[in-house]
A and B are shown apart, each in its own frame.
Chain A
Amino acid sequence: MVGDKPDDVLFGLNAGATPVLVLTGYGRSAAAALAARGVRPAHTASGILEAADWIVRQGGPSGHGPV
């Protein structure tokens, strides 16, 4: 789950997906809010393209579970 808000990351965690935070949109304040709650995204990316590249590097579609 790639998103810019704390709830996107929590959504991903609840769904059993890999939560990726992007720093576009509300991403910077989201990073601070998540850190304050002790929640860590699997990855923090500068934007959607870097997030996609990270996801692709983690493994192909034969992996388990959604991202």
Chain B
Amino acid sequence: MTARRAVFLDRDGTLNEDTGYPSDFRQIHIYPDAFEAVRRLRRAGFVPVVVTHQSGVGRGYFDAQDLAALHARFLEEFAGHDAPLEGIYACLHAPETGLFLRQAAAGPRATGRRASSGSTPAPRSWSETSRTMSCSA
């Protein structure tokens, strides 16, 4: 198996405007440049993975199902612009709790493996990351 090199991309303020605590995809405004950025990374052989801190869940502003639905649409939007993201990993905790949890949203290429395992096969570099990270964002 050939190693693939991941690029981790923040979500709010990086791929889309930071509008606070969006709970619905209709509140998400993706920067037009973001699609081309992902296309160029893909073309160069990188694997784009979104990592995002969504403390709105831990704060009780919205729940994990809302976030999963939003991220499913987010992935669709990028895939529809020929800029597929490998997946979205979110930390759901409020800042003070300090635990790291992942909510995996599978990219289009991993859809068939998603539901039963509850986790997305991820680039090796990500699994190394998840062990060394705490949820400090």
Binding site for B on A (CB under 8 A): 1-5, 7-8, 10-12, 14-17, 22, 24-27, 47-49, 51-53, 55-56, 60-63, 65-67
Most buried by B among A3, A27, A53, A63: A3
Q: Provide the B1-33 mask, 1 if CB < 8 A to any CB of A, else 0.
A: 000111111101111011000000000000101
Tell me, in angstroms, the Cα distance from A17 to B8 when the chains sit together: 8
The interface size of chain B toward A, counting residues with CB under 8 Å, comes to: 37
Contact A56 B41 (CB under 8 A): yes
**Given A22-B13, A49-B40, 10 other A-B contacts at CB below 8 A?**
A15-B129, A15-B132, A15-B133, A17-B8, A17-B125, A27-B13, A49-B36, A56-B44, A65-B5, A65-B125
Identify whether the interface residues of B are mostly helix, strand, loop, or mixed. mixed
Q: Please give the residue numbers on chain B whose beta carbons come within 8 Å of chain A beta carbons, in ascending order.
A: 4-10, 12-15, 17-18, 31, 33-34, 36-38, 40-41, 44-47, 51, 53, 123, 125-126, 128-129, 132-134, 136-137
A66-B4 Cα distance, complex, nearest whole Å: 9
- CB contact between A14 and one of B9, B13, B132 (< 8 Å): that residue: B132
In the complex, what residue of chain A is closest to B126 when comparing beta carbons? A66
